[in-house]
Structure 1
Amino acid sequence: MTSRVGSAEDRFEFLQTLVTEFQDSDSQDAKEQILANLANFAYDPNNADHLRELQVHELFLDALTEENDDFVEFGMGGLCNLSMDPQCRAVLLQGGALKLVTRCLSSQREETVLSAITALMNLSEPPFGPQVTDPAVLQCMLRFSLSDSPRLRNLAAVFLQDCCSREQVQQVEQQMMGQHGAVGIPLPKS
């Protein structure tokens, strides 16, 4: 039993060391690597409590505001992974993540867009669904569902099926009829 407590403490200390290294580093390359590592650690549910305590979601959210596309991709990937945890979902929505995640739908990087869609799907879990299924997001998903990219097309279709009512989709489709330009959130380049 004591080895489990020790390993949890070791895990926390290791994650804390990564966060400190990220904050103290002046090297963009080192920060990218640390951010990517933290995003990978966010995939493991055993790390969720530690990452919440260390406020790693704040690092990920800050990364979404950077000019560096790698930072945005790794930050979005980390948020996507954290959004699987119900407690993290609430923290993310209270911390204003929805607006930043939605902005990532217009990224030129498909991986960033896929992570953003997946995070939105996770964030749409009750009781947060109405915040996520904004008409602009639905317009974007409808456009993604016509994408040449099978991954983007399929994930958008799953979002529309699982996160939206048929009535919501029909209403947005009607709003989009006759519009010739890009509406709402721009599509990433293929």
Structure 2
Amino acid sequence: MFTNSQRQEERTGKYGTPRVEYLQQLVTQFQNASSEETKEKIVANLANFAYDPYNFTFLRQVKKLLNECFEYCNHRIFLVSCLNISCDVKQLNVIELFLDCLTEPNEKLVEFGIGGICNACADPANAALVTQNDGIPLIVQCLSSPVRSTVNYALGALYYLCNASNKEKILKPEVIDAIKSYAAASEVSTSFSNLAQAFLDKHVPQAY
């Protein structure tokens, strides 16, 4: 079930952590995690949040802080200057974290990252952010993944992303050929076939 502001307020209560701060905590936990399994769980959790339209704006607001000192006070995170410590800050929202995951050798991180992108790209502003951050080539690479769900998510993401301003980056002959092969593979995977055919029907002229 999708969330709205009233339902979210009822669930968190007066002293609960606001959604944007909770997402920030997840991003920070990902940055500080040393275990691949922990990172996988965090990205999977973020990808689930990306499915709910209520969170679309928050995904663009949340920032990731690198090489920083944190002070926690009343559920809020403050960047503090520590003696003899240089705090280099790079701002990175959840969408960019998902894109970073696509460059990882860990197939689970790639799967959950592209899943988050697919979910988030249903929102045009998030889709634009993916394009602005050079996400299209990374998503296209996912079409050749050995992980079936990764390919499914990549097809879904490209379906949402493709438009007049970026179609030249997506509708390349090798990409169209790959998607056509998935569309013709209904005996192997109905989900591949249906998603791929939906993409072709919407974005690829019959002349291709």
Q: Distance in 1 between matches of 2:149 and 2:184?
A: 17
Query: What pairs with 1:1-190 in structure 2 (closer than 5 Å)?
Result: 10-54=18-62, 55-147=93-185, 148-167=188-207, 169=208
- RMSD (Å), alpha carbons: 2.0
Q: Give the SS at the match of 1:166.
A: coil
- The answer to which structure has the higher helix fraction is 1
Deviates more, 1:115-124 or 1:42-51: 42-51
Task: For residue 131 of structure 1, report the CA deviation from its aligned partner.
Answer: 3.0
Q: Give the SS at the match of 1:67.
A: coil
Q: Give the SS at the match of 2:110.
A: helix
Task: For residue 9 of structure 1, report the CA deviation from its aligned partner.
Answer: 6.9
Task: For residue 157 of structure 1, report the CA deviation from its aligned partner.
Answer: 1.2
Aligned-pair identity in percent equals: 41
Partner deviation per Cα, 1:24-77 (whole Å, 9 max, x = no partner): 111111110000000000111111111111211111111111111100000000
Q: Which amino acid aligns with 2:153?
A: S
Partner deviation per Cα, 1:110-165 (whole Å, 9 max, x = no partner): 10000000000000144433432222211111111222211111211111111111
Q: Which amino acid aligns with 1:36?
A: A
Deviates more, 1:2-11 or 1:45-54: 2-11
Q: Distance in 1 between matches of 2:6 and 2:198?
A: 42
Task: For residue 11 of structure 1, report the CA deviation from its aligned partner.
Answer: 0.5
Unaligned runs of 5+ in 1: 170-190
Q: Give the SS at the match of 2:18.
A: helix
Judged with a 3 Å threshold, the aligned counterparts in structure 2 of structure 1 residues 124 and 9 are, in CA distance, closer, same or farther, namely farther
Unaligned runs of 5+ in 2: 63-92
* Counterpart in the other structure of 1:180: none
Judged with a 3 Å threshold, the aligned counterparts in structure 2 of structure 1 residues 166 and 9 are, in CA distance, closer, same or farther, namely farther
- Say if 1:114 and 1:155, in contact at 8 Å, map to a contact too: yes
- Say if 2:44 and 2:112, in contact at 8 Å, map to a contact too: yes
**Length-normalised TM-score, structure 1:** 0.81
Q: Which amino acid aligns with 2:195?
A: L
Q: Distance in 2 between matches of 1:141 and 1:4?
A: 40
Q: Which amino acid aligns with 1:141?
A: I
Deviates more, 1:87-96 or 1:146-155: 146-155
- Say if 2:102 and 2:138, in contact at 8 Å, map to a contact too: yes
**Structure label with greater radius of gyration:** 2
Q: Which amino acid aligns with 2:155?
A: I
Deviates more, 1:4-13 or 1:112-121: 4-13
Deviates more, 1:128-137 or 1:21-30: 128-137
* Counterpart in the other structure of 1:186: none
- Say if 1:124 and 1:130, in contact at 8 Å, map to a contact too: no
